Structure 1
């Protein structure tokens, strides 16, 4: 949850490109991030995989006016609208991008190679048909912000109740390090054009996600029994769900705002 999903980068910077707020080169550099290369396969009109710059241009030509994010999990098709084939691939990848203006979606397939410390990452986005329907279970920014405030309190409460050894100092140090990294010269949380509230919601969602990781036992140096990790995961599942819903709401805020403006 703490790490930025590739679908989030593609949707955010793709939306900025579609709006003319960034250049194709700026968008592609931001989307690729630390990966080696991104390609798109299955695009209508293309016989094979193409680079991300060409793919974004092709999507615009196909009528795509915006990009939304889906972050599904078992039993929670968050941001999806079908058909079953697309939903299944998105669930396997745990993320996807859904286009507006054209019935298409993109699901990443990530390949890693190389020794530890020098891993070469390639991403192939599979372009597939989607059903044009409202996405599942995506809250408004206001709803997401309210849910997150409660989620942060609940994560802290569960972490304390489970008596995670040293969790207080570890959690505080990790959050301080994350905040310092965000305030330094690191990448933007969202691309140009997003409302400030979306940035605030995404930052808080990432903070809640970090708390979930710590409480689940993935952020500690000490060993945690499998049964204990399972108990923590079960206790924190509702909080993790809230954080994912908020992430999707933040990434989708640009498209939602444009649609409200067109409906006035």
Structure 2
């Protein structure tokens, strides 16, 4: 199924889970990454990680992405999580350190808490994506929001934010905004998903993508009714819950997809 996805790390998390648990072939997992670039390479952030994964250190000739899959299986990785950190919220990254700093810069990371590592994507040039493997600074406790909770929270946040913006008169539609929104949605990468990915998770991802596109336009539209710095500040404050709800919905949808695909091994021993 083809559904827009928020980021490369979501693609990596879902396809790694599918491949590690026998629900997808490695070739299909690697092909899915092509939605984010024609070429991909993998390096380690530090010497210990390079040795543990059998991949080159940053600055050396990089390894192909297949080397990452091989290393994850050799290290018996079982879980994959999408984390979408923002300043003030780095939950899921084991505290600070190089991984948290890199993930904040990227706004995303795929973590493998069971083996204590995370992988951050870094666009290098047109069509080239580099994946950098970092160690987690400390163990990460399991925590998640159910897909139902996240979906309801997104719906509530849309309603609340829309009402607040209308009250502030900063939600007036400008000419061409619908075309801008359609163009933004059409341009989003649409990698394939593994067979068995739950339909509800994909629907929530699609809804979050739509709301995220609207949110991006609202935040970028400085002239759109924000007549003063204070009005712009109130608008940003009104939209913050919506931004948080979009992040939570995306993480919950990916977590649900990973959970279902991970269970594949138990259903098909």
TM-score, structure 1 normalization: 0.78
Gap runs ≥5 in structure 1: 113-119
Gap runs ≥5 in structure 2: 45-49, 57-61
Aligned residue for 1:59? Answer: 72
Question: Superposition pairs for residues 164-183 of structure 1, below 5 Å?
Answer: 164=170, 166-167=172-173, 173=179
Q: Residue 194 of structure 1: which of 197, 211, 224 is its match?
A: 197
2:153 aligned with 1:147, yes or no?
yes
- The structure-2 alpha-carbon separation of the partners of 1:25 and 1:242, relative to structure 1 and needing over 3 Å to count, comes to same
Larger displacement relative to structure 2 (158-167 or 58-67): 158-167
Larger displacement relative to structure 2 (200-209 or 73-82): 73-82
Measure how far apart 1:245 and its partner are: 0.9
Native 8 Å contact 1:217 1:224 kept in 2? no
Measure how far apart 1:241 and its partner are: 0.7
Question: Superposition pairs for residues 27-106 of structure 1, below 5 Å?
Answer: 27-42=29-44, 43=50, 44-48=52-56, 49-82=62-95, 84-106=97-119
2:248 aligned with 1:245, yes or no?
yes
- The structure-2 alpha-carbon separation of the partners of 1:83 and 1:165, relative to structure 1 and needing over 3 Å to count, comes to closer
Measure how far apart 1:262 and its partner are: 9.8
Aligned residue for 1:109? Answer: 122
- CA displacement, residues 163-220 of structure 1 (integer Å, 9 cap, x when unaligned): 34752875655566677789xxx835743332222112211211221221222234x9
- 2:160 match: secondary structure: helix
Kindly report the root-mean-square deviation, in angstroms, between the aligned alpha carbons of the 2 structures: 3.3
Native 8 Å contact 2:108 2:120 kept in 1? yes
Higher RCO structure (Cα 8 Å, ≥6 apart): 2
- CA displacement, residues 66-115 of structure 1 (integer Å, 9 cap, x when unaligned): 31110000111243333533222211221111014311111122223xxx
TM-score, structure 2 normalization: 0.77
Alignment size in residue pairs: 250
Native 8 Å contact 1:70 1:79 kept in 2? yes
Native 8 Å contact 1:78 1:245 kept in 2? no
